[in-house]
Amino acid sequence: MLQTEKVRLTDYLDERSDYLTQFAEEANIMEKIESRMQAFEESAEMEKAEIEDKESKLADFEGQMDKDRNEGLFFENLGMMGQKNIYLALIAILVFTIAESVITTPSPEWRKIAVLGAILVGLITQVTYEQSLSSSSDAQNLEQKDKADKEEQ
């Protein structure tokens, strides 16, 4: 009887030992999962910070590009459509005024027409100059951006 109790106790202890071993293995697995999760969270935070840094650099670059594009222009932001419309409106007004002076009056005032024509030529020259300056600065900025992208890669 003592032997049977001893066998039962041994079986019970073996069963509990197996259960505790299994429990320890599962706890070990959970610990590994938690450590991996923590490492993943840390890498996600680092990548998020890196993305924010790159977005900040991009915003700075775009701001610098706009500043460089506008450098030397009579009207800033010529690249924007609204500023081009100002030039077009001034040119249209001058052309209309010159045409009206020539067509409506029997003896036009040539000095007035010559002055308006000189202003028109100067305005067209200015538009052409600023447009070429804007285009060349856009090309340079694209080249700089391409170089910066290649360096980052």
Is it the case that residue 77 has pLDDT exceeding 90?
no
pLDDT digits (tens, 9 = 90+) for 83-104: 778 888 999 999 999 999 888 8
62-66, long-range: CB < 8 A, 24+ apart? 65/141, 65/145
Report the C-alpha gap between 19 and 30 in whole angstroms. Answer: 16
The share of the chain scoring above pLDDT 90, in percent, equals 48
pLDDT of 126 reads 85
Mean pLDDT score across all residues of the chain: 84
How do the domains of the chain map onto residue ranges? 2-152
pLDDT of 144 reads 67
Is it the case that residue 39 has pLDDT exceeding 90?
yes
pLDDT digits (tens, 9 = 90+) for 103-148: 888 888 889 899 999 999 999 998 888 777 767 766 666 676 666 6
Mean pLDDT of 15-31: 94
| pTM, rounded to two decimals | 0.44
Query: With 0-12 CB in 10 A as exposed, 13-18 as middle and 19+ as buried, what is 91?
Result: middle
pLDDT of 153 reads 57
